[in-house]
Structure 1
């Protein structure tokens, strides 16, 4: 009876949002064609003292300062009597008000929302994507208070979020600002499909037109969400929302508390490989609901919205998520073993062609994610927390499987992180090492120091052989220069030069504008043009560097064509077969 009283009390609270929320927001889509919204926010002040309002400088899921306040203009504030409140901007993301008395303070400002690819804010005539971090200010004193957000949108628009609905279809409520900031809203003209699995409800909201099959997406996502018990016991959500943007010029995805937004070019759903990439992304974001949202590195708890949240464990947050994503697809029957192996081969090929793996550890890469240059520098002098974190996770999985006699795996380590830190959220490196040591019965501090705190050091062939696999390089070879270029009509703009490659040794660098090979204008893709030559050939490359025409001889090399194949050994042992089964949940 007591439980029912509490339950109904919560229902009443949610359905009477304006009566219980301490901070009320209103977002009005006033000029959609020009990407502008008007924001109105009400804050209660208990005494006449300074009130500082802040807009986050970054959003969760992207470890980079975005300076979101740059989109805010026309700020003003009034008190309960409608009198202007004195204020000044005290920092790039902070506004300090000086109310003359206690009571309600109302602020208003405009937000320019045309950053779709950042997955922060975007408004046009067809929709608005609202990550509250990029729209709604907060005060530290009231950050833990209940909030409501009311949308005023064009007629015919439909609104969805992982947050609970308030008094109407365009109002949402949350217990505090952290939940609000981690529960994006998609409102506009969209498709909406639903399904249920294991007693939980799911929404699929699609904005944009493209060559996708919404019914197929719904069916496959329903299969995917039922595989998470292979890793975790229990769920951190009762309802989950997949938001899909089928658009132009925006790619990527971001995890949130009980939802995700996935962006893909509108015509990249039809081919098998493209659709599989979509499912892999959906799986990645679903895994994040546990790994990052239910438990995450202690340095990110609570989020400091104005400053970088440095952590040496982001490789677990992102790399381990990448490691699990295709395993769930494989278990769901949405990906074949051959497709899983093909992806593995590509990852190994990328690892080999990342000279930075000899320079930077996954721990260092995690800490430096906030300032990572990526691109050419990232390839040659650093590693990526996603791809390198995948390999580190795989190595730890092999370690646990072997030393536990296959009684435990890396999946169990993550389940333990969820069971132990699913409520407190924060875990440390010591916690991960301690769990790994418990699962294996051996102290894993030495392994951690060798493989996490230092650049990865292992033999690919031995790692694959542990699971009854081998990496077969193609016998056919292809020309290798080491240049990655953006090809346009008449020239190739150098984007990357792999360290110690022929192009590196010849002195080529990023932003070189290649215009001819052996005196003939470059009219084709650079890589295609170089196929006219053989390994050992010397070719003269003409290029512009900082507007000055230069010429350089490039001595070409070759390499196995493509990423090769990961395939089963011809005669795997019983031990190898057992390891493969324990690793992926499917027979070798």
Structure 2
């Protein structure tokens, strides 16, 4: 057994003191801190926050040999006393995949905290904590007398820890205990959300039950489930775990007309991951390698399919209506159509290059890459509608993969996915690989037409320069310059200050739009590295600003019936 103790008793220092004890079984032991946490495909080099590493045995401090940036070797006595490992972790980064500790709360992604010890990965791990007075810790592990039990290291690292003077809120999903723990900055502040949404717990239960219905199961995959919510001023995101999820959501989002619906979609997305990607996972993630980035060509299925289905789950729960779903779907399809990078990076490449592109996107990224979340969702839509032409559905394939792979912990390959889809629609045996490797889009317009819908282009009201700006204290700055657009051809770069256009001072994005004139050469004055430069800008006619999803005029009864079954995710009918 490996015993891990975390001391959070001095939160003002933002330091977590870690002690690990074990009876060593090897004379030479390797210690290594993970470089990433599953679900967030970026090497985060957590070792940056580790300090003061010391290893002791029998009262002696043992010499450490650095084996790599995040790995050490130590010689010890496997027949001697317990080995004690001590170090500290700086916790100052508030995201769902890092660590944050202050006088209000503590959140720990344990992959950033607990060392992997050679020969002990599959040993039982115990976790205990020392907390400030009045705090309690919430961990999705079985516990007894304040000690949590993990069956192995993977089980421990997959268990986020939230601590503070929080008031938990319990609910059940098909008899399985669930708990919501909310941190909102100050004690009791989560009551703001419960007051604003008095049926929150009931709505969460309904969304979770809709996930179970989608998967065709009688109860959740987890035996208990923890929802950790960080309610901040602004933010959006989540990270899935086997038996829990960590969400971050902005208060201001709740003030928007679609804010609560988007929150429920976020919950649905992460909860559905309990099956898709956590237990039904790509073979490349079975088992996890915490120290090297595995190339996973099927991340589009793990994230794109989940992103597509999360919009249907509040509708299935009775918490939104079909018009809401079409509005949300239209936003995604519009964003996809207006992403030039889809003509540069294939869906398979997007999945394979997640480690070096998606999580490291900069101002030029949209021209060279496309998100496997976004394009994956578009392909999932086309797969669903293609399958429905043959009497099947995406939901049916997902259930089949769960029964054949997920419930047994058997990792799937891309070939397994193609086989599963082509079993229900033989054309997909050739179509799906082509959609994954090539840049051409599936016949999105044709698939939408089959359910009585079409995308209608809405043109901008002003000339197009291919330039996005942001207003700063120093002036109006170029935030994005579209590849091949008039602004790029004129010589504008991201970070330039836009000073004037044809002698008109530019102070806001509206000033730029008012000054643009189509088909006329205009003089753009910029400041770059404290030097003024005059550029010739040739705006083009207005381009598509967004796409709207509309119903086909005079749609047939067959189209409308197919649309109704699709929106409600009901079985398709053929013939």
Both structures adopt the same fold (TM-score exceeding 0.5): yes
Instruction: Tell me the CA shift for residue 463 of structure 1.
Output: 2.5
Aligned with 1:61: secondary structure?
coil
* 1:85 aligned partner: 62
* 1:382 aligned partner: 369
Instruction: Tell me the CA shift for residue 396 of structure 1.
Output: 1.5
CA distance in 2: counterparts of 1:46 and 1:140, whole angstroms:
9
* 2:163 aligned partner: 187
Structure 1 pair 478–418 and aligned structure 2 pair: CA distance change class (3 A) = farther
Aligned with 2:132: secondary structure?
coil
Structure 1 pair 244–142 and aligned structure 2 pair: CA distance change class (3 A) = same
* 1:523 aligned partner: 507
Structure 1 pair 34–142 and aligned structure 2 pair: CA distance change class (3 A) = same
CA distance in 1: counterparts of 2:547 and 2:369, whole angstroms:
24
How do 1:139-158 residues align onto structure 2 when only pairs under 5 Å count? 139-158=117-136
* 1:553 aligned partner: 536
Structure 1 residues 547-567: Cα deviation after superposition (integer angstroms, max 9, x where no partner)? 432122323335467534212
Instruction: Tell me the CA shift for residue 506 of structure 1.
Output: 2.5
CA distance in 2: counterparts of 1:320 and 1:469, whole angstroms:
21
* 1:204 aligned partner: 180
User: TM-score, normalising length from structure 2?
Assistant: 0.92
Pair 1:410 & 2:394 matched:
yes
- Equivalent residue for 1:348, pick from 330, 333, 340: 333
Instruction: Tell me the CA shift for residue 337 of structure 1.
Output: 1.8
Instruction: Tell me the CA shift for residue 120 of structure 1.
Output: 1.4
CA distance in 2: counterparts of 1:175 and 1:238, whole angstroms:
14
* 1:16 aligned partner: none
- Equivalent residue for 2:481, pick from 491, 497, 514: 497
CA distance in 2: counterparts of 1:417 and 1:445, whole angstroms:
16
Structure 1 pair 191–561 and aligned structure 2 pair: CA distance change class (3 A) = farther
How do 1:48-67 residues align onto structure 2 when only pairs under 5 Å count? 49-67=27-45
CA distance in 2: counterparts of 1:82 and 1:583, whole angstroms:
68
How do 1:463-482 residues align onto structure 2 when only pairs under 5 Å count? 463-474=447-458, 477-482=461-466
How do 1:117-132 residues align onto structure 2 when only pairs under 5 Å count? 117=95, 119-132=97-110
Aligned with 2:365: secondary structure?
helix
Structure 1 pair 456–138 and aligned structure 2 pair: CA distance change class (3 A) = same
CA distance in 2: counterparts of 1:415 and 1:537, whole angstroms:
57
CA distance in 2: counterparts of 1:386 and 1:192, whole angstroms:
32
Name structure 2 gaps, 5 residues minimum. none
Structure 1 pair 307–569 and aligned structure 2 pair: CA distance change class (3 A) = same
* 1:40 aligned partner: 19
Structure 1 residues 214-258: Cα deviation after superposition (integer angstroms, max 9, x where no partner)? 633222211101112343122321222111101246542111111
Pair 1:137 & 2:115 matched:
yes
How many residues in Structure 1 have an aligned counterpart in Structure 2? 558
Instruction: Tell me the CA shift for residue 579 of structure 1.
Output: 2.5
* 1:26 aligned partner: 5
Structure 1 pair 249–469 and aligned structure 2 pair: CA distance change class (3 A) = closer
* 2:350 aligned partner: 365
CA distance in 1: counterparts of 2:567 and 2:149, whole angstroms:
40
Instruction: Tell me the CA shift for residue 387 of structure 1.
Output: 0.6
Does the 8 Å CA contact 2:462/2:516 hold for their aligned counterparts?
no
User: TM-score, normalising length from structure 1?
Assistant: 0.90
560-569 or 240-249, which deviates more: 560-569
Aligned with 1:219: secondary structure?
helix
**CA RMSD, Structure 1 to Structure 2 (Å):** 2.2
How do 1:301-340 residues align onto structure 2 when only pairs under 5 Å count? 301-340=286-325
CA distance in 1: counterparts of 2:338 and 2:511, whole angstroms:
20
499-508 or 386-395, which deviates more: 499-508
Pair 1:263 & 2:248 matched:
yes
Does the 8 Å CA contact 2:322/2:567 hold for their aligned counterparts?
no
Does the 8 Å CA contact 1:26/1:151 hold for their aligned counterparts?
yes
CA distance in 2: counterparts of 1:250 and 1:471, whole angstroms:
29
CA distance in 2: counterparts of 1:521 and 1:490, whole angstroms:
13
Aligned with 2:23: secondary structure?
strand
CA distance in 2: counterparts of 1:454 and 1:56, whole angstroms:
34
Aligned with 1:557: secondary structure?
coil
Aligned with 2:302: secondary structure?
helix
Name structure 1 gaps, 5 residues minimum. 1-21
Structure 1 residues 246-279: Cα deviation after superposition (integer angstroms, max 9, x where no partner)? 1246542111111111112333323332222222
Structure 1 residues 168-203: Cα deviation after superposition (integer angstroms, max 9, x where no partner)? 2xx322111111111101111223211112122211
CA distance in 2: counterparts of 1:173 and 1:330, whole angstroms:
38
